[in-house]
Structure 1
Amino acid sequence: MMTTLSELLDVVYRFYPRGVRKTMRMYVPPNEPVYDDTEEHRHLVKAANRGRAEYPTRKAMIRRLRNRFRLQDESLHLLAGGGGDPAYSARIYRPKDLEPVPSLSSRASLSFHVSLLGPYYGIRDGGEPDEIPAAVAEEIEATYPGYRPIPPELGNEVVPDVDMDGVSMGQATIDMCLFSVVWTWVDPA
């Protein structure tokens, strides 16, 4: 099945209000829309709640991948119940990533994300070619039948009228909206 830009934008706009800045109520004039009160934000929170309920499936997949690779689950805060994360996220460290560095968290060379907003996943690889991306994709597709990757040329499209945590209006990409700003933590090769 072919993924289209129109399809992805429809998903983004179902969960992110157009033209509404993510600002606290105390900074917004009376009678102006507040991000957290929008129907779209309520859909995002509902998707995150569903992600919490379905976390055992995710946990089993992470356990299988952790048996093969050095993995850091970036979705544990999802279980705390705050906000509306759009995806499960994790990072994999290759052996070269583990050489002594000031910050281990900045050295992961692969991250992967399974969206809670639609049947999509993403793998962001900044390492040398190896079997890891294919193994991760295979595991995701086995755990989440029907999920498919977002082509990079579509995922990199800017959504000009969406504001989200950590990303200003006009700078969020489709990948960031569907996978969170954690998507940017690994630089692609």
Structure 2
Amino acid sequence: MKTTRSELLDIIYRFYPRGVQQIMRIYVPPNEPVYEDTEEHRRLVEAANRGRAEYPTWKAMIHRLGDRYSLQNESLSLFAGGIEPAYSGRIWLIDETALSFHVSLLGPYYGIHLPGIPEEEPVAREVAREIEATYPGYQPIPPELGNEVVPDVELDGVMMGEATIYVCLFSIVWTWVDP
């Protein structure tokens, strides 16, 4: 099944309102809506809550991968009440170079962010197999779609017109690996 841009944007717009900046209530006039008042934000909070409830599945997968690789779990902020759209992890390949991988809590998608070195290929294949076995039906988002900018949403730490499909579905953690 081929993933389409339209399908991904439909998911994003369920969790991120169009044209609403993520600023604190104290900075807007009275009776002016803020991001936290929106139905989309409520859905994102619910997705993060599901992620906390289903964390044992992610943790088991992380442990399996951690038995083979030097791994860092980037999803611990969920336990602190974070509102993350995905589970995220990082595998250190060489020196200060890592690939990151993400499993969205918003839809049946995952992504593997590659740093662009030869050592990444066998690890990326193994991570993809592990994700697909752990999360049946999940599929990768192709780079030609994932790198597209979503022009009318703003996320915490990402200004309006700068968030990509990857960042919307996997969080700002997606940008922590430089290809």
TM-score (norm 1): 0.92
Deviations 1:105-152 (A, max 9, x none): xx3420000000000000001042331000000000000000000010
Which consecutive aligned stretches of 4+ in structure 1 deviate over 6 angstroms post-superposition? none
- SS in structure 2 opposite 1:7? helix
Give TM-score scaled by structure 2 length. 0.97
- Percent identity between the two aligned chains: 73
User: Counterpart in 2 of 1:137?
Assistant: 128
Could you give the per-residue CA deviations for residues 30-62 of structure 1, whole angstroms, max 9, x where no partner exists? Answer: 121100110000000000000000000000000
**Structure 2: gaps (5+ residues):** none
Find the counterpart in structure 2 of residue 78 from structure 1: 78
Q: Where do 5+ consecutive residues of structure 1 fail to align?
A: 98-106
CA RMSD in angstroms comes to 0.9
Q: Residues of 2 paired with 1:50 and 1:109: CA distance?
A: 28
Which residue pairs with 1:122 in the alignment? 111
Counterpart of 1:145, as a letter, is: P
User: In the alignment, which residue of structure 2 is the partner of 1:63?
Assistant: 63
Mean CA deviation greater in 27-36 or 142-151: 27-36
- Please give the alpha-carbon distance, in whole angstroms, between the structure 1 residues aligned to 2:97 and 2:68: 16
| Matched residue, 1:26 | 26
Q: Secondary structure at the match of 1:109?
A: strand
2:7 aligned residue: 7
Question: Which residue of the partner structure matches residue 173 of structure 1?
Answer: 164
Equivalences, count: 177
Look up the match of 2:91: 92
